[in-house]
Structure 1
Amino acid sequence: MSDHGAAASGGSRRGLMPAFEFNLRTSVQSGQVAVGKFNGRHPSLACATPGGKVFLHSPHEPAAAVAPASSGEDGAEAPATTAPHVRFLNVNRQVTAVATGYMPVRRAGEAAAEASEPVPGDASASRDLLFVGTASSCLAYDVQSNADVFVADATDGAAALVVDRLPGISPADDAATGGAAPAVVAGGNCSLQAFDETGSEAAWLVTSDQVSAMATGRGLGGGAVDASSRDLLVASEDMELRAFRGDNVVMEATETAAVTGLSALAPGSFAYSLSNGTVGVYRGGQRLWRVKARGNATACLAFDLDADGDPEVLSGWASGKVEARRSDNGALVYRERAAAGSAGVAGLVSSDYRMGGSDDQAVVVGADGTVRGFLPVEAEAAAAAAGGGSLMDEKGADDKALDDLQAQKRVAELRLRSLKASVQAIKTGAISSGAIPAGAAVGVVARVVGRPRGGLPDPAAPRPRLELLVRCSARVQLRCAVALSLDAAVFDGESCVAVPLRGADAAAAAAQRLVGTDHDEAALANGALCIAATPPRNAALSLRVKAVAGARATADRFLSFDIPVTLPEFAGWRRMREDEEAKAVLPEGGVAFALKDRPERVAMWLNRSFLASEGPFEVGVQPSAETPSTAAHNGLVLVVEASPQPAGGTAVRLRCDSMAETADVLQSLAASMGVEELVPRMAFPAEMRSIKGLLVAVQEANTVRLRLSADLADGANRVKSLVVRAEDARMRGDIVGMRGAYARLMTVNGELAGEHAKRAANHEALMGALRRINTAVQTAARLRLGPARAQLVADCRAALKTNNMAGMLSALQGAA
């Protein structure tokens, strides 16, 4: 059933030993598992069920203390099949997130001094609260008192919750600690809402998509941090990772699939898991390592196996498997294989759940309610507990170096053997056997194809795309090429394979091929291979191309080439030729600002960030000269103008009708120049008209929602009246009157069902408009650097809450 391993650290090899296992006899939703001390002393599990309930498992509390709370808010008793020490909380809505954490219990209107702060020696005063997120609210529940602390409106939903003291996000100046007060952050539809202990909104931030996971820790975004700094790490469904330090974004990264789990490790690093089976670690804001396996990784947890202060990474899988890897290199140190048919892992938490007073246990909660606990022990004890399972020993640095050298030796021996066979074939005249010529080489060139030989592209023609052109030297033919994506989903999947086409297939491909340069066309005629790539974002990407080549198509000996390829940030943009620039329609929107650097620095950034296949970019160097650099991408035109100012520095103007693309260019240029604060003059007429339309749509949707709510309340009152009439007629024996009341009741019920459908459609339209507005706010914030960025978000939030459309547009346009 299991296959256990152990790690070696400092001479001590440790593993995991099963400590306990039981079944809660109820289903658990994936990712909605938490552990907390609701009475301040004993740990309890809190899990959400698919039926809109949250259950608590408190094995160390007396049965008398647990039994009264086993009924839900509606008074319904817990199912008879439920395990002992389990009580239910009926939320009566679909639960989207569960979290636990300490927060002073203070109702709205109470003074801060009246809040229940932790008292030394009083465990009940420092008890954790239970936080439950739904599609429209965030509930704080005091389990010990069996009372709601607050119910806060989360208009964008609460798909993920986290509780912590976050300077710059949490309420400031906690009376007990002198620092930031605890706050619960709800991640929803393109936004983050922080609530204080009264349920009042303490902060509002924006992100790019629906939030899928969150975590907090020190220095998660990289850079120097002090002891009191805490970063908020946010993952969204568009595969983006962001680290917030206060209200500033200090780290952004894109992964290859949706993030299913986040966990802080040592200061400055964190672990993550993806839905495509990838588990990895970031350190200092950069990816340290990642590994990919079959299956779906559903959760990850930082858990110290060897007590060295550097936690290992535990990952749970949809198959029920549990793995542990070293946080510094990803080496596998432990694996617990699940039996066939086992349910997937719903969540991973760590706590001294047995109350043994020693090490915490890693608690694995399955989707079927099975709970397994693992205790870190010496490797030999773990092997004995597993019935003599195999151990995965960690090799030392010398052993690793020796393994690397032996691998290189085997590769060199294979190459030498192939070369000897080729030499022997040449000596005997058996050239037809496919001897590979000396000096055979393969190269890769990135290009943007689709540029017409004259004028602008036909609107009906295929859009330009980025291609990798794999070319080989003379007397060598490519047999295949495989491109692997290391950073993001550049291909339709994680790799792309290209092989030579023959006969009619080759003719058809040539007829549909987009136009490139004459030099590239000649290379394609000589057997080069094309691999289409689609960068998902404007960021530098790392690829690896593996090509196989032989002397000719019938060769039986081949050489393998491994070629690393780095694409610049804006590889998807192609430089426009002079004849295209003359016919192009220049953008109406853009930004303008001044830099202290010389124009030559802008030219250096252009050549480093774009594919300069048409020659190097240049900018004007005379005070009166202005040489624009024009590029195109997905139907957009970008014009970069840089000219020296008489008083020194450079006047820069970025012209583009897309705020998002302009923000990417501005952020890249500012990072290259070391600019930390910037408030440019901006104007985006087309986008502002679109945002104005969205604000009008939000106003109309809110008006319709209020009217539908009033109609729904009126219908509910009619239902109550008709039910009373029907029951009264039944008691009087008036069958005709009873039938008439029930007939009218059926009609009203149908009307209510129709009104509900209208309200649901209105809600979807409202959420879609708010999502696009939140995205626009985030994009506009990225057009600023420094304190102005946070101020813009705050101004937009205030205008949105008061339904101030003019204030929202004014805040978005800034100084324009």
Structure 2
Amino acid sequence: MDGDQTPEEQVEIGESDQGPQFDDQVELIDVFKYSLDQRIMDGCVISAVLEPRGQDTIVAVSVTNKIVIKDTETSLNITETIRCIAAAPFGDGYDCILIGTDSSVICYDVHNNLTVFRNDVPDGVNCFAYGKLGDNEDAIYCGGNCCIWGFDRTGANTYWTVTGDQVTTMCLSDYDGDGETELVIGSPDFEIRVFKNDLMRAELMETDEITCLSHVASGCFAYSLNNGTIGTYVLKERQWRIKSKSNVSKIFNFEEQGLMVVVWKQGKIDLRFSHNGEVLSRESVSTPVASATLMRKGEDSIITVVSLDGKVKGFKVQRATHGAIDKTQQLIREFGQKKHNLMMELSNYEQEEQMTEAEKDRDFRIPADTEVAVLFVVNCEAQLLSLRVEASHDIPIRNVVIFAEGLFEGESYIWIPPNEHQSRSTIDIPLIIDKDSTNDLHTKVFLGHVDSNKLMVMENTRILPRFCRFTLLKEEYQKYFYMPTCWIKFDINPKVVKLSEWVLESFTIDSSLVEMFDEAQGEFKFLGLRPKHEKSLMFRISHTQKTFEIFHDSIETLGAMVQSYASFFQIQNMECLAHFPDVFEEAEGILEEIEPMTEVRDRLTTELQERQAAVKEIIIRAEDSISIDNIPEARKCYIRMKANDAAARQAALLRWNNQERCVKSLRRLNKIIENFARLRVGEPGRQIVVSCRSAIADDNKQIVTKILQYGASSQ
């Protein structure tokens, strides 16, 4: 176990436990250390070969917004705020530095001291990934706010698509094992999204904000969350996860196949197996970490850790000198622990057999056929979903422990009766559902009479349906329903044999009522279950006309339902008709104001540059006047400089406000396009994004809402 992990830490290991085996123990040995003499920005450290036939060197961003290169006295000054950096082999045998700022991406060639290209990215760049995506050529991919940009070595725009939220981290990895790499991105909305070319391939729901993604082995990528969780996905399935108290700074693969390096922000460095998370070796640094990278020094791979205070330390992996691990002793200890547990259990049975009838009566024994039922119960009046735990034979419930990933704070919930003499055989535990995601509820129920000194533990697992916050309304509760104004309509796919199967898996519904969804036609009203007011939902199904209409006012929820429906019945392509008048009006308003805001931004940028040039000119004149001892003229120059400086600051503030408004509008527009794309499946969803972008680029904005409503095929 990790030294900084909680006692409740759990490791989840998949069925596959095959991986590289090491007969000898390895250890991390520090090989060098030095200081960059600068405080370093969190997450902004890379290694790159900046000269032909050169060696890897450290490149970092200081907190003063300068790019610091080891062994060089000069630093690169960037006028825009730097958010991230990366390296790409765009030079002839060397790397160029990629700089992501709050408004652009810059490719800089250190060897030739020139800017290869600079492209505007209105909403800024948060992270980079470089490589080959699907059948595209090698390119750099920039994660922004609700969109992803791709540029080739000349700066040409080769890729663009929208995402559901801000992109905070990304990597290229073969997610599905088909031999082609996919783009894996992480967002603050707890989702990992996988793009195959420009089509979203999968969504993986996690329990917190995604902070780091990295390809670590063939068909395997690692992830970390803001709550300290790390883990790996192998060919679409999560292989394992471990939760820690601290956060991860960087994850990257090591030269040995199947090994990965995890660097924690508080200074710990782990060398782990990627297939099960087992720690192979561990080291640490004494100061908080900014980031880490893997460098090549001759034949060796050096794990280089850069601290926030600029201190750099390198570690090399080598075989341990104190001999091989004694696996025999380790096995003996494991079997000894198992023997101890079995002997304790056997002792309990023997004590029970030796008890007299009087002792058994006083001991309040629990019948052998006692069962515990775990059910979902809906209270329509309170609009609340609860988990009901019932024990047979009226056995008191003394304690309930529930483990559910992402459902409870800390991923667990403990119920204890307020007074031990108030224990009862049936309890209801309210469930607060914030996200539409399937969840496994692992319950441990402790049974026993109040005066008993022994408890029975019953374990149970229930699957929480993805859309469990909606329940089918009965006639007596129709008053709680109101008709939504927004809807989508699509044709029922021939693959759909029984619609009831999808409904039963996805919603909280009585199994005796589910057969109604396979009837010729009907309307089915659902109530949203949340402590706060939730929007109603209605299905209108016609099997004779092969149409399915869903009425609901949340476009995000409808998109999730469409994707769930298509995934359940394995539908590859699906088009639909969408009606969201408020969203259409909002999109039209954004499109109308984008062009004026862009014109204002260009005018303010020109004005700011003129003001800055005037200030520089006045400073030169003032210095010239001082050099010839013309103090009165210098005084006039400084008075004019003060006025021009104030005007330049005002122009900069106006430009910044306009830029923020423009970025906010573009972010919302990208989000709208992404939501409507999710109402379609496969190629029709991809074409929504492509067609909307083409319409905006061609200044044909009036057809954008038509594309969103009817789909790209209607144009």
Match of 2:182 in 1: 231
Aligned to 2:418: 501
- The structural deviation recorded for 1:637 is 2.1
Task: Note the alpha carbon deviations across 1:667-704, whole angstroms, 9 max, x for none.
Answer: 11111112101111222223222333343454564455
- Pairing 1:561–2:458 present: yes
Counterpart pick for 1:91 among 66, 78, 87: 78
TM-score by length of 2: 0.87
CA distance in 1, matches of 2:292, 2:611: 46
- Choose from 136, 143, 154 the match for 2:110: 143
How far, CA to CA, are the matches of 2:487 and 2:478 in structure 1? 17
Cα deviation code 1:776-811 (max 9, x no counterpart): 111111112222222211222233445543232222
**Unaligned 5+ runs, structure 2:** 4-18
Amino acid at match of 2:374: V
1:369 to 290, 293, 310: 310
Q: Is the 8 A contact 2:80 2:103 kept in 1?
A: no
Matches within 5 A, 1:352-431: 352-353=296-297, 355=298, 358-379=299-320, 381=321, 383=322, 393=325, 410-418=340-348, 427-429=357-359, 431=361
Aligned Cα root-mean-square deviation (Å) = 3.5
Return the alpha-carbon distance in structure 2 between the equivalents of residues 276 and 620 of structure 1: 41
Q: Say which of 258, 265, 268 aligns to 1:321.
A: 268
**Paired residue for 1:642?**
541
Q: Secondary structure at the match of 2:413?
A: strand
Select which of 146, 153, 157 maps to 2:124: 157
AA at the equivalent of 2:163:
T
With over 3 angstroms needed to count, the CA separation of the structure-2 counterparts of 1:474 and 1:442, relative to structure 1, is same
Q: Determine the C-alpha separation between the residues in 2 that align with 1:131 and 1:378.
A: 36
For 1:661, the equivalent position in structure 2 comes to 557
- 1:534 equivalent to 2:440? Answer no
Name the structure 2 match of 1:547: 445
- Aligned mate of 1:632, from 522, 528, 535: 528
CA contact (8 A) 1:161 1:187 kept: yes
3-state SS, counterpart of residue 347 of structure 1: strand
Residue aligned with 2:122, SS: coil
- Alpha carbons of structure 1 residues 412 and 448: separation in structure 2 relative to 1, 3 Å: farther
Q: Is the 8 A contact 2:470 2:526 kept in 1?
A: no
Residue in 2 aligned with 1:388?
none
Q: Does structure 2 retain, via aligned residues, the 8 Å contact 1:447–1:613?
A: no
Q: What is the SS of the residue equivalent to 1:585? A: coil
Matches within 5 A, 1:455-604: 464-486=383-405, 489-502=406-419, 526-552=424-450, 554-581=451-478, 584-597=481-494, 601-604=498-501
TM-superposed deviation, 1:194: 0.5
Structure 1 residues without counterparts, runs of 5 or longer: 59-65, 72-87, 106-124, 171-179, 385-390, 453-461, 507-524
Contact 2:563–2:679, Cα closer than 8 Å, also in 1: yes
Q: Is the partner of 1:763 in helix, strand or coil?
A: helix
Which residue identity is paired with 2:544? Q
Contact 2:87-2:97 within 8 A present in 1 as well: yes
In structure 1, C-alpha distance between the alignment counterparts of 2:617 and 2:95, rounded to whole Å: 44
Letter in 1 for 2:188: E
Mapped partners of 1:769, 1:187: distance in 2: 17
Pair 677,23 (structure 1): closer, same or farther in 2 beyond 3 Å: same
User: In 2, distance between residues paired with 1:495 and 1:133?
Assistant: 39
The correspondence for 1:349, drawn from 293, 301, 316, is: 293
TM-score of the superposed pair, with normalisation by structure 1: 0.77
Taking the TM superposition and a 5 Å limit, the aligned residue runs for 1:199-278 are 199-217=155-173, 219=174, 221-222=175-176, 224-226=177-179, 229-278=180-229
Give the corresponding residue for 1:520: none
Matched, 1:129 2:96: yes
**Any idea what the Cα deviations from partners look like across 1:696-717, whole Å, max 9, x if unmatched?**
4545644554564466456557
Distance 2:631 2:570 in 1: 85
**Secondary structure, aligned partner of 2:522:** coil
1:357-400, Cα deviation, whole Å (9 max, x unpaired)? x2422222222223222223223x3x59xxxxxx8x5969x987
Count residues in correspondence: 691
Alpha-carbon shift at residue 344 of structure 1 (Å): 2.2
For 1:9, what is the secondary structure of its paired residue? coil
Map Cα deviations across residues 318-373 of structure 1 (whole Å, 9 max, x no partner): 211101221111112111134xxx222322322323x2xx2422222222223222
**Matching residue of 2:368:** 438
Counterpart of 2:16 in structure 1 is none
Contact 2:401 2:415 in 1 (8 A): yes
TM-fit CA distance, 1:500: 1.5
The residue number in structure 1 matching 2:12 is none
**CA gap 1:757/1:418 in 2 versus in 1, 3 angstroms:** farther
Q: Work out the CA distance in 2 between the residues paired with 1:693 and 1:404.
A: 67
Q: Secondary structure at the match of 1:371?
A: strand
Q: Which deviates the most, 364-373 or 190-199?
A: 364-373
The offset of 1:205, in angstroms, is 1.3
Alpha-carbon shift at residue 313 of structure 1 (Å): 2.0
Q: Distance between the aligned counterparts of 1:427 and 1:199, measured in 2?
A: 87
Aligned residues of 1:699 and 1:803 also touching (Cα < 8 A):
no
Tell me which residue corresponds to 2:64.
51
Q: 1:139 to 1:723 in 2, by over 3 A?
A: closer
SS in 2 for 1:360: strand
Which deviates more, 800-809 or 367-376?
Answer: 800-809
1:128 is displaced (CA, Å) by: 1.5
Q: Which has the higher strand share?
A: 2
Distance (whole Å) between structure 2 residues aligned to residue 321 and residue 244 of structure 1:
32
Q: Aligned partner of 1:334: which letter? A: S
SS of 1:294's partner is coil
Write the letter of the residue equivalent to 1:225. D
